Amino acid sequence: MPLTWRDTDALARALVANHPDIDPLTLTLQDVRRFIVRLPGFNDDSDAASDQDIEEVQAAWYDVFQE
């Protein structure tokens, strides 16, 4: 199933699976965007997300990272 910017929780889980040792709160929004668009299965316009969209993924990533 392709990932899009709307798949916040799935993106967060994929980011933790692909980068388990990275604390997402240490990253800039540009870094987070770069990690997202490089995920296997990501299939959306890389420029379609707003800063708020990226912040939501970053927050979800942090929540999963803390588990």
Q: What is the DSSP string of 12-67?
A: HHHHHHH-TT--GGGS-HHHHHHHHHTSTTB-S-TT---HHHHHHHHHHHHHHHH-
User: Quick one: average pLDDT of 42-58?
Assistant: 95
Cβ atoms of 9 and 61 within 8 Å: the answer is no
Asked whether residue 16 is assigned to any structural domain, the reply reads: yes
Q: What is the CATH number of the domain that holds 21?
A: 1.10.10.600
Asked whether residue 1 is assigned to any structural domain, the reply reads: no
Cβ atoms of 3 and 51 within 8 Å: the answer is no
Q: Is the pLDDT of residue 1 over 80?
A: no
User: Quick one: average pLDDT of 41-66?
Assistant: 96
Cβ atoms of 55 and 24 within 8 Å: the answer is no
Asked whether residue 3 is assigned to any structural domain, the reply reads: no
pLDDT, residue 62, reads 98
pTM above 0.95, yes or no: no
